[in-house]
Amino acid sequence: MEPNEQSSLQSQEHKGLLDIIDQLRSLGISDYVDLPQVIVCGDQSSGKSSVLEALSGIRFPRKDNLCTRFATEVILRRYPDETTNVSIVCNSKRHENEKVRMQEFFRSNVCLDEFAALVDDAKACMGLENNSRTFSNDILRVEITGPEQPHLTLVDLPGLFSAANKEQSDEDVKAVRGLVRSYMKRERSIILAVVSAQNDFVNQVVTRIRQRTIVSETGREQRRVFPIRLACTSNRDFEARDTTSEERDEAEASYFSKGVWLSLPKSHVGISALKPRLADLLKNQILTELPGLIQDVENGIQDSRKVLEKLGDSRSSLHEQRQYLLRVSLQIFSLVRFAIDGNYGDSFFGDATTESGSAKRLRAVVTNLLRDFEKTLRERGHAKHIVDNITEEEENEERLVLRESYVDEVLQLMTRSRGRELPGTYNPQIIGDLFFAQARPWQTFVERYVHRIWERTMVTLDMILEHSSDHDTAAALRKHLLHPKMLKVKEDLKAQVATILEPHQRGHPITYNHYFTENVQRMRISHRRKVLVQKLDTHFGTDLDAGADMVTSDVDVGTLLSLLMQDTIPDMDRYACSEAIDCMRAYYKVAFKTFVDNVAVLVVEKCLLQKLPELISPSVASELDDHTVSLVAGETETSRIERTQASEKFTVLDKALEYLRSLQQFQPDSGVTTPNTDPELPIEESEDSESEEVSDTEMSDNSV
């Protein structure tokens, strides 16, 4: 391919690339994702309009101390015919009638001499009066074609200023900076800052952006150097204000062809260098950002689709409301069942490592709470912790009690509760009295944990409602169906807890579990062993508990037997007390296991979890009266607005995705890197300059 043909092909591809981005901007995609763009900013009277004029060939209206109140999009395209078309890109938040009116504002083949008057017409269309103190989010679009134009799109922002005057208020200062800042924050923006060589660099508002831009210096004063790469341009002075663009460019070229300017790279001098540089930067920025841009659009489509699915179709009639409610109730029913069964495959449950994902897994939440309940009750559920010895570390433990001291307490209780039992035996009721006292903390713990399980269940149900319907419907379902029913469930839980607690608080102990008798026998054997070990240690001078289990000695069997027989028949009443304590402790172990299982099965499972799917199910929804259906599924104005916005977003992004995918044909297989290998210029900057308004973290990383 001949060089000229290749250059022409590349030019057409460049034009096609920018045209698609402009089409995306026309669709309104900028309301949802950031597009690559060159934004032009600078102080008032910095020469910003002159730079735009030099780039485009069109003279923008300018007046000292008068602030532009909207952004201007300048689209430059190389084309054989010279044309200038002007239109308004309407803010998406405008009312429909306003959108229609602004879309009708279109001027084709505009004479450049009429441009100032046309801008005034656009201001009137936007509702900006001459003395208006407001700013518009609408954009004035100026499309210019010509054989000498570069393929470039610029967004001109209102000029920055730091002090109010009779024409501009303090509110205007804040509004302009807010508008400029909002564009600078966009990650894909390329920022072209224009500063005047006639003013100190550090005193210009735009330079407080610091080292994040390529600066276009205007004016014909002494040479200045800046902390980053720049392009120097020479604007018309007052005497040359009526010269043509060609004359202006010739004068600039002559000015930069001598003196100190010869030391600067040609790529940094003059409007002829700035044009291709900006065009290449924008082209490469578009290609570099394309994958991320497509991903953002796809994410936006997915988000808007989810919103539309939650909102459903418009539901002004009772039939539509019932259909919507049936669909919502079916999803709620399914998700509740999944949460109870521990089937977490649905996308609703998300990532288990996150707090919200964990809270949605109801079966796991309940299981963990019940395990915690069992552990707490096992460790802290008994009123007294009976031990044979108390160490120094355990002296302050209130629940600890020596067995001998506890025998004294039981003896006093037994004395006051005598019945027809024989000496050395005890009234069976004494076991119940001891057990009821020992199990008294159970009520506090079970009520606390059951309430926590109920609360965590409510959290999961609320998440399911919000996921399955729009916010207003979820709130109505919660208010009119879920909350009243869950309060009833809460009362049922309390009643069931009281029911399973009753056998452990009054009456008499009952068990047919062989584990009870085994426990009693183990305890008796354990006590007897301790007595025998103590006597053998005394007789042989050993310590059997420490491992001295072998002794070589001559033994008088009769003496040893007499020793072992001593004190085997203690005080009859104390013996009976000891036996009663062993029986109580054995029964406590059996009752503890039964009680924990009953809490899990009869309370949590039966009275809570098994009832959840039918709280809001299709069968319940189908039986609701018309009034309740309207209360729950009737559409609010908020929902209608949300549906409209989500539908508009989906339509815009879906169409935008088609355009973006067509851009992939321009992307090299090896990837794209921004060619920016120009040498750094010298640095000369005041150490006292301060950075304000736009911090490094707030700005785009793609400033030039």
pLDDT tens sequence across 67-87:
577 888 888 888 888 888 888
Residue 431 lies in a domain: yes
Low-confidence winner among 238-247, 361-370, 386-395, 642-651 (lowest mean pLDDT): 238-247
Measured distance CA(67)–CA(161) in Å, rounded: 9
pLDDT tens sequence across 173-204:
787 888 888 888 888 888 888 877 777 666 67
pLDDT band at 668 (very low <50, low <70, confident <90, very high): low
Residue 342 lies in a domain: yes
Q: What is the pLDDT of residue 274?
A: 81
pLDDT band at 624 (very low <50, low <70, confident <90, very high): very high
Give the residue numbers spanning the domain of 622.
324-544+558-633
Number of domains comprising the chain? 1
pLDDT tens sequence across 5-30:
444 545 677 777 888 888 888 787 88
Angle between helices 442-468 and 483-501 (to 10 degrees): 160
For 466-481, what is the mean pLDDT? 91
pLDDT tens sequence across 422-432:
777 788 888 89
Q: DSSP letter at 664?
A: G
pLDDT tens sequence across 261-296:
777 777 777 777 888 888 888 888 888 888 888 899
Residue 242 lies in a domain: no
Residue 356 lies in a domain: yes
pLDDT band at 685 (very low <50, low <70, confident <90, very high): very low
Measured distance CA(152)–CA(38) in Å, rounded: 9
Number of helices (H) and strands (E) in the chain: give both, helices first. Answer: 22, 11
State the sign of the Cα–Cα–Cα–Cα dihedral 504, 510, 514, 518: positive
**Residue with more model confidence, 656 or 2:** 656
**Residue with more model confidence, 214 or 103:** 103
**Residue with more model confidence, 276 or 66:** 276
- For residue 494, is pLDDT > 50? yes
Q: What is the pLDDT of residue 90?
A: 82
**DSSP-assigned beta bridge partners for residue 230:** 215
Up-side HSE of residue 693: CA atoms within 13 Å toward CB?
22
pLDDT tens sequence across 125-144:
888 766 555 677 888 888 88
pLDDT tens sequence across 498-515:
999 999 999 888 888 887
Name every residue whose Cβ is closer than 8 Å to that of residue 62 and which is 6 or more positions away in sequence: 49
pLDDT band at 468 (very low <50, low <70, confident <90, very high): very high
- For residue 112, is pLDDT > 80? no
- For residue 49, is pLDDT > 60? yes
CB atoms within 10 A of CB 611: 15
Q: What is the pLDDT of residue 240?
A: 59
pLDDT tens sequence across 202-241:
667 776 654 345 445 555 444 343 444 556 776 666 555 5
Angle between helices 3-27 and 271-311 (to 10 degrees): 40
For 547-569, what is the mean pLDDT? 65
Residue 387 lies in a domain: yes
Residue 538 lies in a domain: yes
Measured distance CA(110)–CA(158) in Å, rounded: 23
Q: DSSP letter at 421?
A: P
Q: What is the pLDDT of residue 317?
A: 86
Q: What is the pLDDT of residue 676?
A: 46
Measured distance CA(61)–CA(38) in Å, rounded: 21
450 with 369: CB under 8 angstroms? no
79 with 72: CB under 8 angstroms? no
* DSSP string for 103-130: HT-EE-S--GGGHHHHHHHHHHHHT--T
Measured distance CA(520)–CA(580) in Å, rounded: 10
Average pLDDT over the chain reads 79
**DSSP-assigned beta bridge partners for residue 76:** 144, 152
Residue 576 lies in a domain: yes
Amino acid at 185: K
Q: Where are the beta strands (DSSP E) in 90-188?
A: 106-107, 139-146, 152-156
* DSSP string for 289-310: HHHHHHHHHHHHHHHHHHHHHH
Q: What is the pLDDT of residue 223?
A: 38
- For residue 660, is pLDDT > 80? yes
Measured distance CA(282)–CA(285) in Å, rounded: 5
Name every residue whose Cβ is closer than 8 Å to that of residue 215 and which is 6 or more positions away in sequence: 193, 194, 195, 207, 226, 228, 230, 231
Measured distance CA(150)–CA(131) in Å, rounded: 36
What's phi and psi for 80, nearest 5 deg?
Answer: -60, -40
Low-confidence winner among 49-58, 231-240, 553-562 (lowest mean pLDDT): 231-240
% residues pLDDT > 70 (the chain): 77
Which of the given ranges, 68-77, 357-366, 382-391, has the highest pLDDT on average?
Answer: 357-366
For 147-174, what is the mean pLDDT? 77
Q: What is the pLDDT of residue 608?
A: 97
Q: For residue 192, what is the enclosing H or E element?
A: strand 189-196
261 with 255: CB under 8 angstroms? yes
Q: Where are the beta strands (DSSP E) in 530-614?
A: none
214 with 192: CB under 8 angstroms? yes
**Residue with more model confidence, 468 or 520:** 468
76 with 149: CB under 8 angstroms? yes
Q: How much is the pTM?
A: 0.59
Residue 24 lies in a domain: no
- For residue 65, is pLDDT > 80? no
